[in-house]
Amino acid sequence: MHVVVATDGSKQSLAAAKKLMSFADPAKITDISVVGVVSPYASVAFADEISKQTPHDRSFREAAEDAVATVAAVFEGWGPQVHQRLRSGSPASEIVKAAKALGAELVVVASGSRGLSSTVLLGSTAQRVQHSAPCPVLVVRPVRKK
């Protein structure tokens, strides 16, 4: 089974990767592709909240590469072969295209990681991926703070 794990550089996307590991059987997963998407039309940099790199003096692409590498490192030694993939375009569209191209049987995506409010039910990227993906989608919601 090939699994696509999407990251937008948020802590929530890192949590989504860890959620997959909390219940999935690594013996049944052959490949994991960690996918980051840089939007060429973004007015702000790829928001890397998870790598240990300093945010200054990095291009959008470098920030995305660092975030993808950070999520990929979560799966080191777990079993499946891990691939790091960086794409350019609309995040939802590129995640779906990657899933189709790779023959993915599952897509893992965080929800609400970039939302303006904690009341957002489902992030727009997660929602679009869920409706367009060629396979099941695991949408990992943020943990509510009490």
Confidence label for 117 from pLDDT (cuts 50, 70 and 90) = very low
Position 146 scores a pLDDT of 61
| b/e 49-79 (16+ beta carbons within 10 angstroms → b) | bbbebeeeebebebbbbbbbbbbbbbbeeee
| Helices 11-23 + 60-74 axis angle, to 10 | 20
Position 121 scores a pLDDT of 43
Average pLDDT over residues 28-48: 81
pLDDT tens figures, 123-146: 688 999 999 999 999 999 887 666
pLDDT tens figures, 47-105: 666 666 665 566 788 888 999 999 999 999 999 999 999 999 999 999 999 999 999 99
Position 16 scores a pLDDT of 95
- Alpha helix locations (H) across 11-139? 11-23, 60-74, 91-102, 124-132
- pTM of the entire structure? 0.86
Confidence label for 115 from pLDDT (cuts 50, 70 and 90) = very low
Position 53 scores a pLDDT of 64
Write the burial class of residue 108 (CB in 10 Å: 0-12 exposed, 13-18 middle, 19+ buried). Answer: buried
